[in-house]
Structure 1
Amino acid sequence: MGRKTHPRIQRAKGQIAIVALRLIGALPFVINRALATIIGVIVARLPTQALKVSKTNLALCYPALSDAKRAQLARESLIESIKNTFEIALFWRRPAQGLQRVAAVDGDAPLRQAVADGKPIMILAPHLGCWEVLNFWLATEFGLHAMFAPSGLPEVDNLVRSGREHFGSTMYPTTARGVAGLVRAMKKGALTAILPDQVPDRRSGRHVPFYGHPAYTGTLACKLIRQTGAVTFMAWARRLPGTQGYEIRIRPADTAIADDDLDNALAGMNHSIEQLIDESPNQYLWSYKRFRRPPPGSDTPY
């Protein structure tokens, strides 16, 4: 059992986080982006743990790149991550501004057809670009049913939920009851979105290849797809240069994702994630320890 944080400390953390998020969220978008870029450039040049993890992940996933190119990609990714932190602080507080920044949409015709046909839809949205803007767009265009995992900081959770539910999204807790409710909605033709590249707990995943290396991968998305017969798409909100906004990109998932063999389905999901990341690797969250739970007998690369 891990040590529990004292309730007063938790409350203090939540209050500090809320103050910081509100201060950032009060900035106009142009200043928000400029400040995030400046801070990102500074942070990307410091010998932080985030930079170290990013370089380790990139060495595993892009071995053909030179050391210099991987180092540059790691720095660019950290800058984009800082931009993401700043922009979602603004958009949680003022969701309409995030939606208004959608400047283009690419590849949405098959998705719209599937929705028109009344089929359940699964959107897989990895930690790429600005996933909150994607949430807003999906909720506005089609209605969105999604799961919500509390952070342990109630003040922050309330802010996040109010932002995500602003456009009418239906949120489900990450519990057995929540999953059952989501399944019922999907079987009636609902559209849902899941982050497919998080490391799950030890009872909810399997090791399958991700860029050629075993990564502990959550099984929930593939099980829901198989259980509901959902049509599956990959999606992300690409951050455009400067303050131009975002481009929503929709791509078909690998057909193997619906395979009855769970390992094959998970491999198809990870392959789909790889293809999406390859569109703009600098906007992926490489500082996340994706390989932190290796197979038995193997060491963590971190």
Structure 2
Amino acid sequence: MDRPRFRASFVHPRFWLLWLGLGLLWLVVQLPYGVLLRLGQGLGVLMYRFARSRRHIVQRNLELCFPQLSASERERLVRENFSSTGIAFFEMAMSWWWPKARLQRLAHVEGLEHLQQAQADGQGVILMALHFTTLEIGAALLGQHHTIDGMYREHKNPVFDYVQRRGRERHNDDATAIEREDVRAMLKVLRAGRAIWYAPDQDYGRKQSIFVPLFGIQAATVTATTKFARLGRARVLPYTQERLADGSGYRLVIHPPLTDFPGESEEADCRRVNAWIEQAVGQCPEQYLWAHRRFKTRPEGEPKLY
């Protein structure tokens, strides 16, 4: 995709309220990092109280995935998850507008050598990530160390789409955004030896998925990780990120490439991917995006879970 460009139509009065909101957000995120964390936690409390439908989805997901926890333990995790989601709102703005040097002080990167080795070997990389609430700022921080292309879905509001893409792509001049449905472009990028951010942890429907267990529940799991790795002749490097509890920033970990991947079958690969997802989410479940209806698509004959 081409770089985002400002258009005269963006100053139309119908966008003024959005511009005002973005301007106020820009002012707020100039505050110290610790203050933004507390503001985000406060926003999370409001979201918990008023976003009832989302709260129900989070509660249901945690009930399904962590049945071993008591009701009070799950409720505590729900509240922590909403706090993390509230913080993510300000992290998004930080990643778009903070000076790069200020952002960089928050990054604690491990395993960068795995990306560098793949680049030296001329191989593309599928950076297999997850939808944590820290997704936006994690991508921005890693993008300052290595060019990472990303899968992208255009926002319906053209002004917001412009601001979002401009903010995401500013961290390295060489990064590109690839439409999520543009498989040909993704394979071209991988065969050129580039790295692309890709998350296989959401429910994309029955058409492009098979059912394998996730937290003990049959979940529609995309087979695209296998297809992209095979057709793009790419290495798959798991990638995790975590907001550190001491307020010092974020731990970003690029794990060693998966060995013998793709494997003997798409089902075996999907089981392997889901086992990794369980492990990664279990490290900081409060920071995962539980508001997504992960088990929406059900095998034939099974009742709905939401």
Structure 2 counterpart of 1:6: none
Which ranges in structure 1 are unaligned for 5 or more consecutive residues?
1-10
**Counterparts of 2:13 and 2:186 in 1: how far apart (Å)?**
33
Aligned-partner residue type, residue 24 of structure 1:
L
Partner residue of 2:249 out of 245, 255, 262: 245
Q: Which residue of 1 aligns with 2:282?
A: 278
What RMSD in Å do the two structures reach over aligned CA positions?
2.5
Alignment equivalent of 1:68, drawn from 72, 75, 95: 72
The structural deviation recorded for 1:158 is 1.0
Matched, 1:127 2:131: yes
Following superposition, the deviation at residue 242 of structure 1 comes to 5.8
Contact 2:178 2:186 in 1 (8 A): yes
CA deviation map 1:107-151 (0-9, x unaligned): 333333333322211111111141122322333322122221112
Identity of aligned residues (%): 28
Q: How much does 1:260 deviate? A: 4.1
Cα 1:174/1:127, change in 2 over 3 Å:
closer
Shift of 1:54: 1.1
Question: Corresponding residue for 1:49?
Answer: 53
2:179 to 173, 180, 185: 173
After TM superposition, give the deviation of residue 56 of structure 1 in Å: 0.8
Tell me how far apart the structure 1 counterparts of residues 187 and 267 of structure 2 sit (CA, whole Å). 21
Taking structure 2 as the reference length, the TM-score comes to 0.85
d(CA) in 1 for partners of 2:168 and 2:61?
A: 30
> What's 2:210 paired with?
206
Q: Does 1:84 align with 2:88?
A: yes
Contact 2:91-2:137 within 8 A present in 1 as well: no
Is the Cα–Cα contact under 8 Å of residues 26 and 90 in structure 1 kept in the other structure? Answer: no
**Cα shift readout 1:9-46 (whole Å, capped 9, x = no counterpart):** xx999765554344223212434322111221343355
Q: Is 1:13–1:153's contact at 8 Å kept on the other side of the alignment?
A: no
Report the Cα distance in structure 1 between the residues aligned to 2:299 and 2:14, rounded to whole angstroms. Answer: 34
Rounded Cα–Cα distance in structure 2 between residues aligned with 1:35 and 1:212: 36
Q: Is the partner of 2:45 in helix, strand or coil? A: helix
- Distance change (3 Å), C-alpha of 1:14 and 1:49: farther
Kindly tell me the number of residue pairs found equivalent between the two proteins.
290
**SS of match in other structure, 2:94:** helix
Opposite residue 281 of structure 2, the aligned amino acid is I
Query: CA distance change for structure 1 residues 22 and 301 in 2, over 3 Å: closer, same or farther?
Result: farther
Post-superposition offset of 1:191: 0.6
Q: Aligned equivalents of 2:259 and 2:15: distance in 1? A: 42
Quote the Cα distance in structure 2 between the aligned partners of 1:119 and 1:59. 41
Say if 2:233 is the partner of 1:229.
yes
User: How far apart are 1:103 and its partner, in Å?
Assistant: 3.3
Distance, in Å, in 2 between the alignment partners of 1:55 and 1:81 is 14
Q: Is the 8 A contact 1:102 1:248 kept in 2?
A: no
Q: Which amino acid aligns with 1:122?
A: I
CA contact 1:148–1:173 (8 Å) conserved in 2: yes
The residue number in structure 2 matching 1:156 is 160
Show structure 2 runs of 5+ residues with no match: 1-11
Moved more, 183-192 or 245-254: 245-254
Deviation at 1:279, TM superposition (A): 1.1
- TM-score, scaled relative to structure 1: 0.86
Does 226-235 or 157-166 show the bigger shift? 226-235
Q: Which amino acid aligns with 2:177?
A: M
Q: Which letter maps to 2:186? A: L
How many angstroms does 1:299 deviate by? 2.0
Q: Deviations over 1:83-107 (max 9, x none)?
A: 1122202322346267424331233
Task: Say which SS state the counterpart of residue 69 (structure 2) adopts.
Answer: coil
2:187 equivalent among 170, 183, 193: 183
Give the whole-Å Cα distance in 2 for the aligned partners of 1:300 and 1:193. 31
Which secondary structure does the structure 2 equivalent of 1:258 belong to?
Answer: coil
Q: Which moved more, 1:58-67 or 1:47-56?
A: 47-56
Is the Cα contact below 8 Å between 1:238 and 1:247 reproduced in 2?
yes
- SS of the aligned residue for 2:255 comes to strand
CA distance in 1, matches of 2:268, 2:19: 42
